[in-house]
Amino acid sequence: MTTPRRVTVVLFEGFELLDVFGPVELLSMLPDLVSVELAGPATGPVRSSQGTEVVATRAYPWATDPAADDDADPRESPDIVLVPGGQGTRRLVEDADFLGGLAAWAGRARVVTSVCTGSGVLAAAGLLDGYRATSNKLSFGWASGNGTSVEWVARARWVEDRDRWTSSGVAAGMDMTAALVARLFGQEAADRATTEAELDVHTDPTWDPFARVHGLAG
């Protein structure tokens, strides 16, 4: 048996619920292939943009959580990192300590992903420099204002560029996750997850009517 790939979801105050639990729902359909952990500023509840609190099972790997004695070594190499969007991203891009910790840790990951305005956070941390990326179309102007050498793609459901995967707004994260599963484990695994979830995914990464809705593309 192979060891499941580990996905670490980075929670923060004001994260978007579906950005997290859309992908997590699909990944949870594949327990033989994927394990998911939720990391927050400390172990314990983290409040979402919707007000629902979600329990982080560990502190950020680059931070020290005095309430948890069993956190993994912060020097560990992450496998797959997922950064969601949400109103809290506006604060995070101004948080130098958070960005520095995220950059140093996630920069060693095998795959770095984001949903919605999470790409703005990745860009602010320098993790998208030299990459193509997309974001939520309603907030595209804000997200694309972060980073120094990011090639922002306005019309895209998601963008895959080597080891960086970024998706458009909220529900687009599920389409990106299905595509990522197919890339990592094969189409059969992706079909298994989406069938169990009864999800009809968009498989074309360029499908993006919302770019036109928000005046970003013809």
Q: Render pLDDT for 1-57 as a digit per residue (tens, 0 to 9).
A: 579 999 999 999 999 999 999 999 999 999 999 999 999 999 999 999 999 999 999
For residues 54 and 88, is the Cβ–Cβ distance under 8 A? no
Compute the mean pLDDT over every residue in the chain, rounded to the nearest whole number: 94
* pLDDT tens-digit readout, 187-201: 999 999 999 999 999
Q: What Å distances lie between residue 116 and 20, 34, 61, 198, CA to CA?
A: 10, 22, 23, 22
Q: What pLDDT score was predicted for residue 178? A: 98
Q: Where are the domains of the chain?
A: 5-66+74-213
The answer to whether 121 and 93 have CB atoms below 8 angstroms apart is yes
Structural domain 5-66+74-213, CATH architecture: 3-Layer(aba) Sandwich (3.40)
Report d(CA 14, CA 53) in Å as an integer.
Answer: 10
| pLDDT digit string, tens, across residues 104-138 | 999 999 999 999 999 999 999 999 999 999 999 99
Cβ pair 193, 178 in contact under 8 A: yes
pLDDT of residue 68: 45
Tokens read off for 38: 């939720």
Residue 218: pLDDT band with limits 50, 70, 90: low
pTM: predicted TM-score of the whole model, two decimal places: 0.94
Could you give phi then psi for residue 64, rounded to 5 degrees? -105, 130
Hey, which bits of the chain come out as E strands?
A: 5-10, 34-40, 44-47, 53-56, 58-59, 80-83, 111-114, 132-133, 151-152, 158-161, 164-167
Tokens 């190499």 appear where? 77
Return d(Cα 126, Cα 11) in angstroms, integer. 19
Residue 40 to residue 58: CA distance in whole angstroms: 6
User: Residue range 198-212: average pLDDT?
Assistant: 97
Find the distance separating the first CA and the last CA of the chain, reported in whole Å. 48
How many whole angstroms separate alpha carbon 204 and alpha carbon 179? 9
* pLDDT at res. 70: 47
